[in-house]
Amino acid sequence: MRIPKWLFVAAPIGFAVFITVGGWIVMSLWNWLGPELFGVRQVTFWQALGLLVLCRILFGGFGLGGGGNRHSRKSRDRMAERWMNMTPEERESLRQSWRGRMGFCSSNVDTESKTNEPMS
């Protein structure tokens, strides 16, 4: 596939516009809400861009798709297929290993041994 030449000019300009608008929006919202709600100082445009980058680092993307989502449909379908091909013994063994790693309680808990006493 051949990339049009105009895209080499339009892409950086579009990126700069996106960053500028995003920084301006963050700055405006912060300076409008922050001082009155939280008693914080106003921020400059560059500090707002820093907040935008920090949010990107902490919380992930800007919703533009792509990326390596490990819970993608393809990986879920592959796991479902593996699960369906397992024997009941293999499934129980996998459940036990999950419980051990993630601290889950056993699903076969004896309900008669539980009491309804409040914890102190």
pLDDT tens, position by position, 54-113: 988 898 865 555 555 556 778 888 888 888 998 999 888 888 888 877 665 555 544 444
Q: Collapsing DSSP states into helix, strand and coil, what is residue 90? A: helix
- The yes-or-no verdict on residue 36 having pLDDT over 50 is yes
What is the rounded CA–CA span in Å between residue 48 and residue 55? Answer: 11
Q: Are 56 and 77 in contact (CB under 8 A)?
A: no
| pLDDT above 90 as % of the chain | 34
Q: Report in angstroms the alpha-carbon separations of 14 from 10, 31, 99.
A: 6, 25, 48
pLDDT for position 103: 66
Q: Give pLDDT, residue 110.
A: 43
Could you give the CA distance from residue 17 to residue 23 in angstroms, rounded to a whole number? 10
Domain spans of the chain, in order of start? 6-59, 73-104
Q: What is the DSSP string of 2-48?
A: PPPTHHHHHHHHHHHHHHHHHHHHHHHHHHHHHHHHH-PPP--HHHH
The average pLDDT across 16-33 equals 93
The Cα-based distances of 83 to 47, 79, 86 in angstroms read: 49, 6, 5
